[in-house]
Amino acid sequence: MHAEQAAADSPRTLFDKVWQQHEILRWPQGPSLLYVDRDFVHEGAFHAFGDLKRRGLQVRCPERVVGFADHYVPTKARDIAGAATPAIAKVLQQFSDNARWSGIRAFDIGDERQGIVHVAAPELGLTQPGMVITCNDSHTSTHGALGAIAFGIGQSETTQVLATQTVWLKRPSLMRINVTGSRASGVSAKDVMLAILAQVGSAGAVGHAIEYAGSVVAAMSIEERLTLCNMSIELGGRCGMVAPDDTTFAYLFGRPFAPDGQYWDAAVAYWRTLGSDPDAVFDKEIQIDGSAIAPMVTWGTSPDAALPIDARVPDPERLSGAERATAHAALEYMGLQPNTPLTDIAIDRVFIGSCTNSRIEDLRAAAAVAAGRKAVVPAIVVPGSESVRRAAEAEGLDQVFLAAGFEWRHAGCSMCVAMNGDVVAPGERCASTSNRNFMGRQGPNARTHLMSPAMAAAAAVTGRLSDVRRLPTRKRA
């Protein structure tokens, strides 16, 4: 009791506070057994459901597991018959069947609130501060934007969560990334994240839970924080979090699965205690000058290969060792010459969507640039959820995009991961608001440049990587 009291009195981080509320036991020289408040599954979890059935197990707490069809769903049709191939249709059918078999709630294709799990779950109020959340998807880090410990797990771990509502996890080290100052106009949350990646690197946060803090983060909307936390995995982080505050509570209030009247006040009172104590200690602290961040794009095949739009393609010869070899390989794959101004790079295609950037604020930012202009390359807009799609249509954003020659699709992961038939053709160069520019990510031999929604819209109307600050947004009638 005394030790517990002392632990409670010493300064603790946001991560510590949530972790301690979920640690069932700690194995000597090993992981902790962590309680999972909520597990999300997408269609890819058919491996885990198969494993569960082979073991003769069931989903232990169906009320704590929620399914979303997102990776394999067609974005031009709203039923399984519209799947790109019979093999994809089979995966979608298995998802429906497994949801029915296990008794979990599934926001399946055709549901008016279906969407990408990392867009739809926060929007439904399923993601809440202080929770431990898992999902068979690395971008589960997204949900930390509301003050949850949320992390991606594999199929075997998903089997365990489904069967026991627990997961084995070694407590990560803690990193705080402080983004100070204030963002210049034309600089989005995506730009902030790409700037962090450029500084910290793709392996910089391996083994760490990240807390994002500082004036720039405090001033962000929840949607912007979701974008930030989404790409924690691109830093190698186990999860990313932002302390819950009034912005968080205002976002959650009244959402369908947020705590209701009976519990709302108690929940908020608890959530207010979660922020890191002033003297809490982190294993690593990173400082980023938020005022110095410019619109960013990636040039290589790792998300940390990011530069301000007014920079030039790096020269690998100026790097050393493994970095030089990696940069050479990246430029060869990307078909780029060293020292080329980034704004000279012509593109073939634009994708606006993904769990990083497909929320209503993202679509507004893209539409503001597209308004009154014409796309000169094929461009698709894929809302993150059907709710986002309806909200955008209510504001007339669909008409802005259609008038500008963009395609307006239904919700899903689509061209970010290219599993549903929406692919970038071999050799094509895509300006994308997604999170990964890995080789082959958007299709075999596809070339990806990551950027914000406004920058992607600017690329669509100019046909090249462009500085959105040089394209004044026009007021819509």
Partner 1 sequence: MSHFRDFRAIAAPIEGVNVDTDQIIPARFLKFDRASGYGRFLFHDLRFEMEGRERPEFILNRDPFRAARILVADENFGCGSSREGAVYALGDYGIRVVIAPRFGDIFYNNCLRNGVLPALISVVDAAALRKILHAASDPSLTVDLPSQTIRYGDGEPIAFSLDAFWRDCLLEGVDEIGLALRQMPQIEAFEQALAARRPWTASACQRRLTGEPGLGTVE
63 versus 344: smaller Cβ distance to partner 1: 63
Nearer to partner 1, 332 or 344 (CB): 332
Structure tokens at 80: 């399984």
Task: Tell me the C-alpha distance between 129 and 267, whole Å.
Answer: 9
In the complex, what is the shortest distance from the CB of residue 379 to partner 1, in angstroms, rounded to a whole number? 22
Q: For residues 160 and 248, which CB has a smaller minimum distance to partner 1 in the complex? A: 160
282 vs 406 by CB, closer to partner 1: 282
Least separation, in Å, of the C-beta of 374 and partner 1? 32
Q: 92 or 195, CB closer to partner 1?
A: 92
- Answer yes or no: are the C-beta atoms of 394 and 363 closer than 8 Å: no
Query: Which residue, 328 or 469, is less far from partner 1 as judged by CB?
Result: 328
Percent helix, strand, coil in the chain, to 5, is 40, 15, 45
Residues 6+ apart with CB under 8 A from 307: 198, 296, 297, 298, 299, 314, 342
Let me know: does 255 contact 146? Beta carbons within 8 Å. Answer: no
Helix or strand (DSSP H, E) at 175 = strand 173-180
Q: How far apart are CA 378 and CA 349, in angstroms?
A: 5
- Residue 78 beta carbon to partner 1: minimum distance, rounded to whole angstroms: 11
Q: Residues 326, 331, 332, 337: is their CA dihedral positive or negative?
A: negative
Q: Tell me whether residue 188 or residue 301 sits nearer to partner 1 (CB atom).
A: 301
CB of 290 to partner 1, least distance (A): 26
**What six digits make up the tokens of 190?**
């995506």
**Beta carbon of residue 150, minimum distance to partner 1 (angstroms, whole number):** 12
Nearest distance, CB of residue 57 and partner 1, angstroms? 8
Query: Closest CB to partner 1 among 346 and 425?
Result: 425
Minimum distance, C-beta of residue 355 to partner 1, in the bound complex (Å): 12
Residue 140 or 432 having the CB closest to partner 1:
140
Rounded Cα–Cα distance for residues 384 and 245 (Å)? 24
Choose between 373 and 436: whose C-beta lies nearer to partner 1: 436
The CB-of-259 to partner 1 minimum distance in angstroms stands at 4
Nearer CB in complex with partner 1: 165/473: 165
Let me know how many helices (H) and strands (E) the chain has, helices first.
16, 19
14 HSE (CA, 13 A, CB side): 29
| Pairing mode, strands 306-308 and 296-298 | antiparallel
Q: How far is the CB of 27 from partner 1 (least distance, A)?
A: 5
DSSP H stretches of helix in 375-464: 386-395, 397-403, 453-462
CB distance 437 to 448 below 8 Å: yes
> Are 176 and 210 in contact, with CB atoms under 8 Å apart?
yes
The whole-angstrom separation of Cα 432 and Cα 414 is: 11
C-alpha angle 42-47-52 in degrees, rounded to nearest 5: 105
Query: Least CB distance from residue 127 to partner 1, whole Å?
Result: 12
Tokens found for residue 14: 């946001």
From the CB of 405, what's the least distance to partner 1, in Å? 29
Strand, coil or helix: 66: strand
**Selection from 175, 216, 221 nearest residue 193 by Cα:** 216
| Token pair in block for residue 361 | 């604020």
Q: How far is the CB of 353 from partner 1 (least distance, A)?
A: 16
- Residue 391 has phi, psi (to 5 degrees) of -60, -40
Alpha-carbon distances of 421 from 80, 86, 243, 298, 446, rounded to whole Å: 13, 11, 38, 24, 14
Q: Are 472 and 454 in contact (CB under 8 A)?
A: no
Query: Which CB sits closer to partner 1, 207 or 341?
Result: 207
Token pair of 327 as six digits: 């940069």
Least gap, CB of 132 to partner 1 (angstroms): 10
- Which residues does residue 410 pair with via DSSP β-bridges, in sequence order? none
- Cβ-based nearer residue to partner 1, 238 or 447: 238
